[in-house]
Structure 1
């Protein structure tokens, strides 16, 4: 009975999803539109978690895409897609993956749509970001943070 009560006490809810910040730059327009379209795409992800109140967190997924033709930047787009999540009743081993993987996974489709729309409205060919394995990225982040103190003590 206590296990059933413990499971019932766990709460997860999306309270709000919103675009916190966005930027789109075409520093070499209009000349860039006359060049042959053979882009090199640089894609970066970052997440940030901010506790707001007891069991409520803001998770911000930042996506930065820089597209170049040769050495010229065609465009640079940055989107900070955020969400406010209620994450209550989870232990420490559960809350990390919830905030570091599960919540960014919820935010990614929204951010991908914003990026795609901005690129299209900027006059460039459609850009569709590939799916991201946030579980693997979270595990990699944990492994790096655990090995970092060891590396510091070895130096």
Structure 2
């Protein structure tokens, strides 16, 4: 990254007319929203049973500037032990991505397949730290193949009248 936080090799300013090579890059990443709830403390710490974990993901993308898109990776985790909630974590981790000379039909596959792959390790760390700071062992999520998930969703939507839109990430 340069002094302004722009990825090296990615210039958000207009180049000369001969500069027509496609370019995509991450401009920044950030926690957009983070919530940790521990509704049954301190009694939950006396429970010796390992909690059952339910993890839900949602990806949303929207254009926020002429050549800039935001991706929000939302992760919701609910842990229960013996019928009681151990903890609930809601994380919205976002990134800004810049595009130059990229065909419009290539932006959505990047934003819903590649961009979440780039953000996920950082979101995973924030989530693990929040759970650990809440008094539980860190929750380490398994890697996710976002490109494969995007391809599966695109194939499933190929026969529907409402294709994915870059704004929402779903039909």
**Residues 140 and 124 of structure 1, relative CA distance in 2, 3 Å threshold:** same
Task: Provide the C-alpha distance between the structure 2 equivalents of 1:26 and 1:42, rounded to a whole number of angstroms.
Answer: 15
Match of 2:83 in 1: 71
Q: 2:26 matched to 1:17?
A: no
Match of 2:13 in 1: none
Equivalent position to 2:92, from 69, 77, 80:
80
Equivalent position to 2:133, from 116, 121, 125:
121
Equivalent position to 1:95, from 89, 104, 107:
107
Consecutive unaligned residues of structure 2, counting only runs of 5 or more, are: 1-16, 163-171
Match of 1:49 in 2: 61
TM-score by length of 2: 0.78
What SS class does the counterpart of residue 53 from structure 1 fall into?
coil
Task: Provide the C-alpha distance between the structure 1 equivalents of 2:141 and 2:57, rounded to a whole number of angstroms.
Answer: 11
Which has the larger share of helix? 1
TM-score by length of 1: 0.86
Q: 2:71 matched to 1:59?
A: yes
Contact 2:49/2:82 (8 A) holds in 1: no
Task: Provide the C-alpha distance between the structure 2 equivalents of 1:116 and 1:43, rounded to a whole number of angstroms.
Answer: 13
Match of 2:39 in 1: 27
Alpha-carbon offset, residue 142 of structure 1: 1.6
What SS class does the counterpart of residue 64 from structure 2 fall into?
strand
**Residues 35 and 47 of structure 1, relative CA distance in 2, 3 Å threshold:** same
Task: Provide the C-alpha distance between the structure 1 equivalents of 2:101 and 2:161, rounded to a whole number of angstroms.
Answer: 30
Consecutive unaligned residues of structure 1, counting only runs of 5 or more, are: 151-155
